[in-house]
């Protein structure tokens, strides 16, 4: 079973999550020839205060 984990800074709308789920599932199905029902996708929304890039919190960029 293909397992995909996606982490984003901030919040996504339900529609954005649906688009991501469909698009990523389509790519995995095409690349692996597995049925779409076998693709498991997790979307983790992280607070920008918990993520830093180059030593600076993303929310301060």
pLDDT digits (tens, 9 = 90+) for 15-33: 999 999 999 999 999 999 9
In a domain, 26, yes or no: yes
Please report the pLDDT score of residue 40 as a whole number. 97
Its domain, for residue 28, covers 12-40
In a domain, 17, yes or no: yes
In a domain, 7, yes or no: no
| Domains identified in the chain, total number | 1
Q: What is the mean pLDDT of the chain?
A: 96
Please report the pLDDT score of residue 3 as a whole number. 96
Question: Minimal CA–CA distance to 5: which of 31, 32, 41, 38?
Answer: 41
In a domain, 25, yes or no: yes
In a domain, 21, yes or no: yes
Please report the pLDDT score of residue 49 as a whole number. 92
Can you give the pTM of this predicted structure? 0.84
Question: Minimal CA–CA distance to 6: which of 27, 31, 36?
Answer: 27
- State both tokens at 12: 């996504």
């Amino acid at each position: 079973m293909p397992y995909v984990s996606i982490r984003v800074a901030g919040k996504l709308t339900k529609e954005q999550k649906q688009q991501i789920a469909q698009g990523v599932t389509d790519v995995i199905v095409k690349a692996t020839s597995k049925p779409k029902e076998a693709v498991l996708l997790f979307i983790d929304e992280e607070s920008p205060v918990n993520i830093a890039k180059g030593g600076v919190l993303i929310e301060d960029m």
